[in-house]
Amino acid sequence: MAKIPVGILGATGMVGQQYITLLNDHPWFEVRYVAASPRSAGKKYAEAVSGRWHLAKTFAPHIGGLMVEDANDVSRAVAAFKKGECSFVFSALEMGKDETRALEDAYAAEGIPVISNASAHRWTPDVPVLIAEINPDHTDIIPIQKKARGWDRGFIAVKPNCSIQSYMKPIHALAQAGYPAQRIIVSTMQAISGAGYPGVPSLDMIDNIVPYIGGEEEKSEKEPLKIFGSIENGVIKNADFPKISAHCNRVPVTDGHTACINLEFAAKKPSLDEIKAVWYAYKGLPQTADLPMAPKQPIIYREEENRPQPRKDRDADKGMAVVIGRLRPCNVFDIRFTALSHNTVRGAAGGGILNAELLKHKGYLS
Ligand code: NAP
């Protein structure tokens, strides 16, 4: 099967670099088009990332020779599309929200589907916010979105914030098993790479914790409700529950967001052993359809009392699994536990690739 040629907008950044390495040898997709800011445009990819390559794994030689285009110039991507070099794009741009939204719309309007990591379109009512295991049915909004905007081939699908990845799947698994959550308090300890490059100044981070990440608590509390919502009258209607209260902290960890969760069930309360069994058995469409980027075991429970830890657990199953530990009763709510997910893999590029695989599986990408 010929591979689908894909483009990466923001290919030089922290998330863009993850896309480049994760797509190396991907069985379905092949990177043929890279774009970034005007600062990088006109340079070969290897030159554009020289001195600011962040990953241990490097890029393939043919990627180093690709010319970086200006992501703001949609006509370049359209020309690449016509040459068979860019069938859809992953968006990993770090720009103002309004600029990002307008640019992603422009790509979709020109017939180039956009699978985005940016937050700009997460609150657009007919744009799905996808976690492939949880709400693959939200892709059903895409024909409605295309029709409403007069787009024939293009569309926009996004993934949620990296801070919520670790607790969404365990909560979803329990809800599916008949134990929905009513109220949740979550405290996150978020890695520095979540702020992009160069990110938080080193003097703010070394020997320190910063108890504020702009906009992050609101995203952590509200995005889950859209993901747990349903399509009604041509838009995604948010769920009413669970109510979430979040504290988001930046900590001196390179990669991997950890969350401590206190959870109250709506009605039925499972035993701790039942909860572990539910998490162990949890599978979604990515696993049953055997999508290439899907973790075999989406939730891994560790019995050791001192796990999960970012350094030891963030790369579990290619960095795509959520690792949980420390499940115990809560004196105020019902249960408490600690969960971890890799922010630039599961929470960004890996999650974006899995969404693209889901969309291809559903016939939206060809
Ligand atoms: P980053 O390291 O700062 O990279 C930003 C990218 O955007 C670079 O390729 C940069 O190009 C490009 N860019 C910046 N200004 C631009 C402009 N005016 N026009 C066109 N391109 C421009 O940021 P990141 O951490 O990779 O994040 C990328 C996106 O993913 C953001 O929307 C972020 O919110 C989201 N996200 C990040 C994470 C994470 O853990 N880091 C997780 C989930 C979602 P140059 O290199 O040429 O400047």
Pairing of the two strands 4-9 and 68-70: unpaired
Residues with CB under 6 A from ligand 1: 10-16, 36-37, 39-40, 71-72, 92-95, 117-119, 162, 193-194, 196-197, 343-344, 347-348
Q: Which residues are catalytic?
A: 162, 257
pLDDT in single tens digits along all 366 residues of the chain:
799 999 999 999 999 999 999 999 999 999 999 999 999 999 999 999 999 999 999 999 999 999 999 999 999 999 999 999 999 999 999 999 999 999 999 999 999 999 999 999 999 999 999 999 999 999 999 999 999 999 999 999 999 999 999 999 999 999 999 999 999 999 999 999 999 988 899 999 999 999 999 999 999 999 999 999 999 999 999 999 999 999 999 999 999 999 999 999 999 999 999 999 999 999 999 999 999 999 999 999 999 999 999 999 999 999 999 999 999 999 999 999 999 999 999 999 999 999 999 999 999 998
Answer whether the bond into residue 310 is a cis peptide, omega within 30°.
Answer: no
Measured in Å, residue 139 CA sits from the centre of ligand 1 at 25
Task: Output the pLDDT for position 185.
Answer: 98
The CATH 3.40.50.720 domain(s) of the chain lie at: 4-161+348-361
Radius of gyration for the alpha carbons in the chain, expressed in angstroms and rounded:
20
- Which tokens sit at 138? 């939200």
The distance of Cα 151 from the centroid of its chain, to the nearest Å, equals 25
For residue 215, give the nearest of 185, 193, 251, 246 by alpha carbon: 246
Give the model's pLDDT for residue 1. 78
Q: Which of 20, 37, 53, 216 to mutate to test the pocket of ligand 1 (most atoms within 8 A of CB)?
A: 37
Q: Which among 49, 52, 94 is the best mutation to test ligand 1's pocket, defined by most ligand atoms within 8 Å of the CB?
A: 94
Contacts of 298 by beta carbon, 8 Å cutoff, 6+ apart: 133, 169, 282, 283, 284, 286, 287, 320, 321, 322
Residue nearest to atom 48 of ligand 1 (CA): 37
Whole-Å CA distances, 48 to 35, 117, 161, 196, 250: 10, 21, 27, 16, 28
Q: Determine the pLDDT at residue 190.
A: 98
Closest CA to 71 of 16, 128, 8: 8
For 240-263, write each residue's pLDDT tens digit: 999 999 999 999 999 999 999 999
CA of 16 to the centre of ligand 1 (A): 7
CATH superfamily of 163-342: Dihydrodipicolinate Reductase; domain 2 (3.30.360.10)
Tokens of 300: 């891994």
Q: Residue 73 contacts by C-beta under 8 Å, 6 or more apart in sequence?
A: 41
- Specify the CATH number of the domain 4-161+348-361: 3.40.50.720
Residue 201 is predicted with a pLDDT of: 95
Report the nearest atom of ligand 1 relative to the CA of 12. 9
Contact yes or no for 72/103 (Cβ under 8 A): yes
Residue ranges, comma separated, of all CATH 3.30.360.10 domains in the chain are 163-342
pLDDT, tens only, 329-342 = 999 999 999 999 99
